[in-house]
Amino acid sequence: MQIDPTPISGSQDFGVLSPQTCRVTGQDTKHAMILAGLGWGRLPHWLIERDLAEGRLVRVATRALGRNAQLPAEAYLAHRLDEAMGPAARAFAEALARLCAEDVRPRP
């Protein structure tokens, strides 16, 4: 399953391992469909941590999903160089820098 809320990506697939796919409009829908047994897909660890701990979901270990079946994530903060960031953007940049400095990999 993959999330595709806009027509911008058209019929492009990103990180899809199956020829049979279902496109949904959000993480909550994808999560509910996977819990209902309608398919499998990648979801953020914070969203499924409880499901994993309580045995409702299991991690599918496959090399196609990266080392330890986990893909790294990239985050960017874009802003104008000719203007100073406001207080919210500065706070976000600091929080993002702290997260990037930590080892925030999910526990197996």
What b/e sequence results for 42-79 when a residue is b if at least 16 CB atoms lie within 10 Å of its CB, and e otherwise? bbeeeebeeeeeeeebeeeeeeeeeeeeeeeeeeeeee
In terms of pLDDT, which residue wins out, 15 or 41? Answer: 41
Please name the residue that has the structure tokens 């999910």. 106
Query: Cα dihedral sign for 44, 47, 53, 57?
Result: negative
Q: Is the pLDDT of residue 106 over 60?
A: no
Which pLDDT tens digit goes with each residue over 28-75?
999 999 999 988 888 888 899 999 999 999 987 776 666 665 666 667
Phi, psi angles (nearest 5°) of residue 13:
-110, 135
pTM for the model: 0.53
